[in-house]
Amino acid sequence: MNTLFDKIWDAHTVKTIAEGTCVLYIDRQYIHEVTSPQAFAGIKKRGVGVFRPSQITASPDHNVPTLNQHLPPTDLLSVSQLEALATNCRENDIEIFAVGTPRNGIVHVVGPETGLTQPGMTIVCGDSHTSTHGAMGAVAFGVGTSEVEMVLASQCIMQTKPRSMRINIDGELKKGVCSKDIILHIISRLGTGGGTGYFVEFAGSAIRSLSMEARMTICNMSIEMGARGGMIAPDEVTFEYLRGREFAPKGQEWDAAVERWKMLKSDDDAIFDREEYFCASDIEPMVTYGTNPGMGVPVNGHIPHIDEVEESSRASFEKALDYMGFASGEPMVGKKIDYVFLGSCTNGRIEDLRLFASYVKGRRKHPKVTAWIVPGSRQVARMAREEGIEETLREAGFEMREPGCSACLAMNGDTIPQGAYCLSTSNRNFEGRQGVGARTILCGPLVAAAAAIEGVITIPEV
Amino acid sequence: MIEKFSTLYSTAAALEIENIDTDQIIPARFLKATTREGFGEKAFYDWRYDDKGKIREDFPVEEDRWSSSKILVAGKNFGCGSSREHAAWAIYGAGFRVVVSSFFADIFRNNALNNGLLPVRVSDDFLNAIFERVKSNPDTRLIVNLEEQTIKIEGTDMCEEFEVSAYKKECLINGYDDIDYLVSIRDEIEKYENDRK
């Protein structure tokens, strides 16, 4: 009567010490340039080497420019972080997917697409969106730099086991509703702290019907409701996605692995600490209106009236609307957009680019909209080129950039100006996230495409 | 090693705002350092400073109070969002040793504990009582006793117990950190690896 999460977690528990604090073994750690330098400095100071370098993979992503990647970045601080990552990997025998090389990209895009991420694994990275990898049936979660250092030093971390939650989404999705809408809908109902303390398994017929990449978008944003991580039991969709990928098992090993992975599911009588139920047909295309991902409404809906907001949250609600330049009760359709950002570990995969391109094909970008189309990895960029997506985009007035985290957190210079509105397929609409004073409205690729064409928030015609 | 913690008496810097995310605590553009130092002065930068680098008058905590208090009190769901440990470094670097809220995001709480910054979770009512008390008298001190796991509001009989894992409590009191421990059990970890092959 175990949950999938229990099975994987328990199998990776090296030992339990006081009151449920576990020494948890980590199969794979991904690292990037922003949250790892202090961890490497830490082990160096302790005189300890990296314990299992072959189980660590690096991909610089946060700080990399999305134009002219063949030239060195102009920001010297970024350069020093990127160089520190390269040096640390070289000194410690860690594989790095360097900027400009075919495997480079956002760690959470690269891990699955190279086949490094596999069902049943425990995976960490110094990045909260590590939950993305849970879509493949792994226990994957974000950690801080001290924990990155723990894994460098011992391939383990100290953790308290979270409680378990299952979110069931059954039924059929409406036309034009994508997985980003599902997760924005869920977070708008449960709130940004609604999953705190829990590890979530997403289940139900609507989840089963999703592609592998669509599932990643959902697990990616489980952290935005505070959950430690999100996961989906592996199935044929997962196996088909993994088959033949570079680091996936091959031949007999593949067959044996699939047999093992088929066992990875919650028992029928598994008991979760909490269960939530959603009806897929209730979900509409979504946007956010405020300054956290829980402040979401259907595109055709309106910003809540102040009296619809809980009294204790009114001050935060008003602060958010003041920042966004919106008024309570306003409709979202028709709001003017200055920027559109398609990309990030949430929606920077090939399917996202395909969806966006399918909408803008034969249409024309609105002249007042600046659009940044940023593939999540070199591989995504290559596929977009080979499939003619780049050309479709170009014909519609869009330019495809080079891969990286880009405007999701605007560390690399892709910054939205003060006061400008950005319709963004990324994961966070926090104050200043995309630049000081930038106003972020989260949405999926279709809603972003429609707004890029119209210059205002609009319901996509599908 | 982290700094040892026992009992703390201090005034409080009160931010009566819910869902304070780590992008507010330390904006991403300040994450380009390769050391743990220097984040304290950047804590809550965009709330504390205007675009010319001048202190903003609408920041709820006066500068003196900010620099002299060792306890930060904030609305529920503190530290949500990004896993950046820089948020814990920034708060610690700004001189705080305790953060009080009625709800903490998981990763922030872990990061705080790994840096000797104690997250104290109190009830909504107790949190409101602190906010009211500090508003009416900013000199009010809070007393946080880790050994007893209690937090008191000075000048009142208000006291609440808070939770902290026995393991983390021992680490904080003695200044131990997890990495030394994990390195010390590498043999056991290797045995685990061999057993599951």
Query: Chain B neighbours among A 52-91 (CB < 8 Å)?
Result: 62-63, 75, 77-78, 80-81, 84
Write out residues 221-280 of A within 8 Å (CB-CB) of B: 223-224, 226, 228
B18 with A157: Cβ contact below 8 A: no
Cα nearest neighbour of B111 on chain A: A144
As a whole number, mean pLDDT of residues B99-110 equals 97
Q: Which helix (H) or strand (E) holds A454?
A: helix A445-454
SS3 state at A326: coil
pLDDT band at A137 (very low <50, low <70, confident <90, very high): very high
Q: What is the reported pLDDT for A226? A: 97
Query: Can you tell me the distance from the alpha carbon of B28 to that of B82, in angstroms, rounded to the nearest whole number?
Result: 10
Query: From its phi and psi, is residue B114 left (phi > 0), alpha (psi between -120 and 50) or beta?
Result: alpha
The total of other beta-carbon atoms located within 10 Å of residue B197's CB is 4
Which tokens go with A61? 């992503």
**Whole-number Å distance between alpha carbons of A46 and B179:** 9
Instruction: Look up residue B153 and give its two tokens.
Output: 């509001």
Q: Can you list the alpha helix ranges (DSSP code H) found in A93-157?
A: 107-114, 145-154
Q: Mean pLDDT across the stretch A331-352?
A: 98
Per-residue pLDDT for A81 more than 90? yes
Q: Strands A139-142 and A13-17: what pairing?
A: unpaired
Confidence (pLDDT) at A72: 80
Q: Which residues of B touch A43 (CB under 8 A)?
A: 179
**Helix, strand, coil shares, percent, chain A, to 5:** 40, 20, 40
Span A30-41, mean pLDDT?
98
Amino acid identity, residue A301?
Answer: G
Q: In the 8-state DSSP scheme, what is residue A57?
A: E
Distance CA A378, CA A371 (A): 19
**CA–CA dist A47, A45 (Å, integer):** 5
Instruction: With beta carbons under 8 A apart, name residues in chain B contacting A162.
Output: 106
**pLDDT exceeds 80 at position B1:** no
C-alpha separations of B169 from A147, A150, B146, B150, B176 in Å = 18, 19, 7, 13, 10
Residue A18 clears pLDDT 90, i.e. is over it:
no
- Among A151, A127, A142, which Cα is nearest to A55's? A151
Confidence of residue B96 (pLDDT cuts 50, 70, 90): very high
Cβ contact B28–A410 (<8 Å):
yes
Residue B38: the pLDDT is: 95
| Segment A188-235, tens digit of pLDDT | 999 999 999 999 999 999 999 999 999 999 999 999 999 999 999 999
Q: Which residues pair with A336 in a beta bridge?
A: A456
What pLDDT score was predicted for residue B132? 96
Q: Which of A127, A193, A196 minimises the CB distance to B83?
A: A127
Give the separation between CA A420 and CA B31, rounded to whole angstroms: 23
Longest dimension (CA), chain B: 63
* Contact partners, residue B114, CB within 8 Å, separation at least 6: A144, A146, A147, B2, B85, B88, B177, B178
Compute how many other C-beta atoms are within 10 angstroms of the C-beta atom of residue A369: 22
Name the β-bridge partners of B72.
Answer: B13, B99
Instruction: Check A19 against B29: CB less than 8 A apart.
Output: no
Q: Tens digit of pLDDT for each residue in A424-456? A: 999 999 999 999 999 999 999 999 999 999 999
Integer Rg of chain B from CA: 18
HSE-CB at A99 with a 13 A cutoff on CA atoms is 27
Predicted confidence band of residue B73 (pLDDT cuts 50, 70, 90): very high
Residue A385 pLDDT: 98
Size of interface A-B (CB pairs under 8 A): 190
CA distance linking residue A385 with residue A65, whole number of Å? 19
Token pair belonging to A417: 């100006």
Q: Is the pLDDT of residue A311 over 90?
A: no
What is the distance between the alpha carbons of residues B73 and B101, in angstroms, rounded to a whole number?
6
According to DSSP, residue A376 is labeled S
Q: What is the pTM of this model?
A: 0.97
* Residue A222 Cα distances to A194, A295, A375, B181, angstroms: 10, 15, 22, 31
Residue of B nearest to A152 (CA): B179
Q: Which residues of B touch A78 (CB under 8 A)?
A: 32
Identify the three-state secondary structure at position A442. strand
Angle at A335 between CA A334 and CA A339, to 5 degrees: 125
Give which of A293, A338, A342 is closest to A320, Cα–Cα. Answer: A293
B179 vs A42: CB contact, 8 Å cut-off? yes
Residue A361 burial class via C-beta count within 10 angstroms: exposed 0-12, middle 13-18, buried 19 and up? middle
User: Which residue of A196, A316, A428 is in closest CB contact with B105?
Assistant: A196
Name residue, tokens 């997403």.
A202
- A126 token code pair: 């110094």
Instruction: Tokens for A421, please give them.
Output: 């509105």
DSSP symbols for A411-422: -SS--PPTT-EE
Measured at the alpha carbon of residue B196, what is the angle toward residues B193 and B197, in degrees to the nearest 5? 85
Nearest CB neighbour to A292, from listed B19, B36, B185: B19
Residues 42-81 on B with a CB inside 8 Å of A are 46, 51, 75-77, 80-81
DSSP A318-368: HHHHHHHT--TT-BSTT-B-SEEEE-HHHH-SHHHHHHHHHHHTTS---TT
pLDDT at A422 over 80: yes
Alpha-carbon span B105 to A128, nearest angstrom: 11
- When pLDDT is averaged across residues A52-74 and rounded to a whole number, the result is 94
Say yes or no to pLDDT of A20 above 90.
Answer: no
Q: Taking Cα atoms as reference points, which of A300, A57, A267 lies closest to residue A177?
A: A300
- What 8-state DSSP symbol labels residue A54? G
Q: What is residue A15's predicted lDDT score, i.e. its pLDDT?
A: 95
Task: Determine the residue of chain B that is closest to A49 in CA distance.
Answer: B183
State the Cα–Cα distance between residues B20 and B27, nearest whole angstrom: 12
Query: Residues 6 or more apart from A386 whose CB is under 8 A from it?
Result: none
Interface of B with A in 126-185 (CB under 8 A): 165-168, 170, 177-183, 185
Tokens of A363: 């249409």
Token pair listed for B41: 């002065």
CA dihedral of residues B102, B104, B110, B116 (deg, nearest 10): -50
Q: What pLDDT score was predicted for residue B115? A: 95
pLDDT score for A218: 98
